[in-house]
């Protein structure tokens, strides 16, 4: 079962994970990742822009690729868009599978792709205004692991 959402408002990762686990009683393991806006000094807000005609289909395609590569019972991908404060959750990925490695790999793969190969544009507001953020070199390296 896929649960793919672009969210305009805040959400509770703990609650979402609880419901996802309940929806997959057959899964032996669930691997999850929650990404939050970091409290980097001087960052007052983060804005994520998307282009829904590409962003949402892209998330579905990503989920389908993960399902094709690993034996999953379910995959959840929730991603915030809009303006967020430090500590707000940005992204939640959760993979339910019979076996532990499949769940871990699928969650890891999905996060790497969301981070630098999905249609999101990110900027930070600092004291002197907004600044666009580019993926770090590390993000590209992370992605290359799956090719």
Partner 1 sequence: MAVTLIFLGRLADLAGMPEREIDSPLDWGTLVEELEGELGEALEGEKVKVAVNGKLLADKRILAASDGDEVALLPPVSGG
121 is a site residue for partner 1 (CB under 8 A): yes
Binder of a copy of itself out of 11, 29, 119, 122 (CB under 8 A): 29
Q: Select from 69, 70, 66 the least CA-distant residue to 117.
A: 66
Restricting to residues 54-83, which ones interact with partner 1 according to CB under 8 A?
54, 57, 79
Smallest distance from partner 1 to CB 67, Å: 20
Question: What are the structure tokens assigned to 16, written together?
Answer: 């979402």
Strands of the sheet with 45-50, listed across from one edge: 82-84, 45-50, 120-126, 129-133
Question: Residue 116: which of a copy of itself, partner 1, none does it interact with, CB under 5 to 8 A by kind?
Answer: partner 1
Residue ranges that bind partner 1, judged by CB under 8 A: 35, 48-49, 51, 53-54, 57, 79, 90-91, 100, 111, 114-123, 130, 132-135, 139
């Amino acid at each position: 079962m896929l649960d793919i959402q672009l969210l305009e408002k805040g959400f509770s990762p703990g609650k979402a994970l609880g419901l996802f686990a309940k929806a997959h009683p057959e899964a032996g393991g669930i691997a999850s990742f929650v990404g939050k806006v970091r409290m980097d000094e001087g960052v007052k807000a983060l804005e994520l822009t998307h282009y829904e005609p590409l962003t949402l289909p892209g998330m579905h395609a990503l989920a389908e690729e993960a399902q094709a590569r690993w034996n999953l019972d379910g995959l959840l991908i929730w991603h915030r868009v809009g303006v967020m404060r430090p500590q707000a959750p940005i992204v939640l990925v959760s993979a339910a599978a019979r076996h532990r490695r499949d769940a871990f790999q699928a969650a890891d793969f999905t996060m790497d792709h969301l981070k630098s190969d999905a249609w999101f544009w990110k900027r930070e507001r600092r004291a002197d205004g907004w600044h666009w953020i580019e993926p770090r070199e590390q993000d590209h390296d992370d992605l290359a692991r799956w090719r």
